[in-house]
Amino acid sequence: MALRRPPAAGRRRSTDSGVEPDRGALSREKKEQRVALFLRDFDQQAKENIQEMKKELDSLLQTAEKAFTVELLKMPVAIRKMKRKDLL
């Protein structure tokens, strides 16, 4: 694996990436539009993530309920009909 050389003493790296050369010249209106667009996108992604988590939760609850039902069926009828307080 090759080692990185330190930058030459006389050369400095530019902080400007060149992606948006006139970013400082953006008007306040455009900045507000970009922020609003970013926030809408963020909200949409959050809603999608919440919906996905709700689906996963429902699936987990159904699995737990099925497992509980199976375990109840394994128990004798007398114990199944007993109150939990009495069982404990």
Give CA–CA dist 31/36, Å, rounded: 9
Amino acid at 31: K
Mention every residue, 6+ apart, whose C-beta is less than 8 A from residue 80: 72
Cβ neighbours around 48 below 10 Å, total: 10
Of the CA atoms within 13 Å of residue 1, those in its CB half-sphere come to 1
Residues 6-57 have pLDDT tens digits of 665 556 665 655 555 555 667 899 999 999 999 999 999 999 999 999 999 9
Q: pLDDT tens for residues 68-84?
A: 989 888 988 888 888 88
pLDDT at 12: 62
